[in-house]
């Protein structure tokens, strides 16, 4: 609970700072003043969402080896690779580990072991 209160406090401060920096809302092309504010807030929220996903994907721990999904052989970590995906809120860029299987001579991205949708 304390963590969520801390985050809420930071969000409040961030929103206040953005409001001050953005200044008066231009509602000339909007349906209403509220519509203009909500459009601005959604755009900011989407940008924060995309950046948070990107940063979290970069900081995920990676293993030195992974099992090749094709042949079952151990494959070596080759590095991080950026990939474009479509998330719930639109396009995202994530960083994920790439592995190379010398037996199959191909690179692959291992499935997320925490993906519980299909299991």
Q: Is residue 32 very low, low, confident or very high in pLDDT (cuts 50, 70, 90)?
A: very high
Q: What is the pLDDT of residue 1?
A: 58
Average pLDDT over residues 57-75: 91
- Using CA atoms, how far residue 63 sits from 32, 66, 71, 76, in Å, is 52, 7, 19, 9
List the domain boundaries for the chain: 1-60, 63-119
Q: What is the mean pLDDT of the chain?
A: 87
> Where do the H-state alpha helices sit in the chain?
2-22, 33-58
pLDDT at residue 92 is higher than 70: yes
pTM for the model = 0.68
What length does the chain have?
119
């Amino acid at each position: 609970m304390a963590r969520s209160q801390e985050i809420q406090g930071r969000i409040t401060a961030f929103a206040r700072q953005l409001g001050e920096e953005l200044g008066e809302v231009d509602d000339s092309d909007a349906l209403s003043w509220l519509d203009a504010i909500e459009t601005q807030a959604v755009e900011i929220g989407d940008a924060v969402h995309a950046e948070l996903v990107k940063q979290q994907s970069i900081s995920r721990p990676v293993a030195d080896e992974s099992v090749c999904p094709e042949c079952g052989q151990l494959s070596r970590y080759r590095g991080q690779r950026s990939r474009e995906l479509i998330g719930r809120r639109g396009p995202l860029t994530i960083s994920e580990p790439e592995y190379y299987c010398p037996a199959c001579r191909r690179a692959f991205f291992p499935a997320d072991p925490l993906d519980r949708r299909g299991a």
